[in-house]
Amino acid sequence: MNAIVKTGGKQYTAGKGDVLIIEKLEGEVGSTVELTEVVAVVDGGKTKIGSPFIKGAKVVGEIVRQGKAKKINAFNYKPKKNERKRWGHRQPETHLKVTDVVVGS
């Protein structure tokens, strides 16, 4: 059974045993998280689509790791002005192992 879940302004496909790298969620490593914004569920040949979400459906997962993504390097340059600026950013992320996909009524 697979589900499409919305978190952090993005949508992810989640199946039991999958590890999702998503926007940072509050919680310690080893704690359980429930994602309730389930957009669609596919169970074999049956597909259930919510409008906008499926009532009672949730994806349960365990936080495996809290960390940061790879660094994004950028460089701003304006010719003939002697203006150069180098900067970077590391987005915080959570690694979530999906333990169960629950479908409501």
For 75-105, what is each residue's pLDDT tens digit? 999 999 999 999 999 999 999 999 999 997 5
The pLDDT score that the predictor gives to residue 47 is 92
Q: Would you say residue 29 has pLDDT above 90?
A: yes
How many structural domains does the chain have? 1
Q: What is the pLDDT of residue 24?
A: 96
Q: What is the mean pLDDT of residues 71-75?
A: 97
Which residues form the domain of 70?
2-102
Residue 39, pLDDT > 80, answer: yes
Long-range contacts of 12-18 (CB under 8 A, 24+ apart): 14/59, 14/61, 14/98, 14/101, 15/98, 15/101, 16/98, 16/99, 16/100, 16/101, 17/97, 17/98, 18/97, 18/98
What is this structure's pTM?
0.83
